[in-house]
Amino acid sequence: MPSQLPQRERGVIMVIALITLAIMMIGAVAALRSMSASLSMAGNIGFKRDMANQAERAIRAAMTALNSSSADLTASQTSLNYSAAMLSTSVESIPTVLLGSSPSTVGGYGVAGNVIDLTSASSSSTTVPLNMKLYYVVDRLCQSAGAMSSDTCLTSSSLTQGGKKVGGLTEEPKPVYRVTVRVDGPRDSQSFYQATFSN
């Protein structure tokens, strides 16, 4: 009795292999897209952190200018980007003078010389320009310009503080100043930062 010949395969394995390859290809594309999104997100976080770091530069410049100035701070000082009265703000508490398309004079409360331009490297610098512009304005948190009054101004002594002065002396109230910085970065990005201080 002759032995039975094995039946011919009719391409079923080929179909299964093609389906498996298609599934693996779809999985590889999904993994690549996920990795690309993760890298983009990490880049955006680093980019945002760099903008915050550069905003510190403008905050420091504003505080230094105000502390070292002999100008009368009971009146607005254009050369310092300073308003002696609280500026009108948006619902997010951003002074509206910083909300224009390019506030080179900060809505009349400043001058173009107080804009920190990081879009080009200086001649002595070997670093790559950051392609950022920083605009800042300082306002005294008082209802109006003029002499400071605890009734119309937010003062440092009205803030909650721990401890007492030596000898029970009360601290003379000082007005609180708000620095608001607008950072215009690459790809039309924009961020706002604020700090308060008293001097």
The one-digit pLDDT tens for each residue of the chain (199 residues) are: 555 656 665 678 888 888 999 999 998 888 888 877 777 666 667 777 888 888 888 888 888 888 888 888 888 888 888 888 999 888 998 998 888 777 767 777 777 777 787 777 654 455 556 788 888 899 999 998 888 888 888 887 654 555 555 555 566 788 889 999 998 887 778 889 999 888 7
Contact 137, 84 (CB under 8 A): no
Residue 129: predicted pLDDT: 61
Q: Which amino acid is at 61?
A: A
Regarding pTM above 0.75, the answer is: no
pLDDT value at residue 74: 87
Nearest 5 degrees, angle CA 7-CA 9-CA 12? 145
Q: Which two tokens stand for residue 143?
A: 């209802």
Bridge partners of residue 192, in order along the sequence: 182
Per-residue confidence (pLDDT) for residue 180, from 0 to 100: 92
DSSP character for 108? G
Per-residue 3-state assignment (H helix, E strand, C coil) for 25-63? HHHHHHHHHHHHHHHHHHHHHHHHHHHHHHHHHHHHHHH
Side chain identity at 99, as an amino acid letter?
L
Q: How much is the pLDDT for 193?
A: 92
Domain ranges of the chain: 12-197
Q: Identify the pLDDT of residue 178.
A: 92
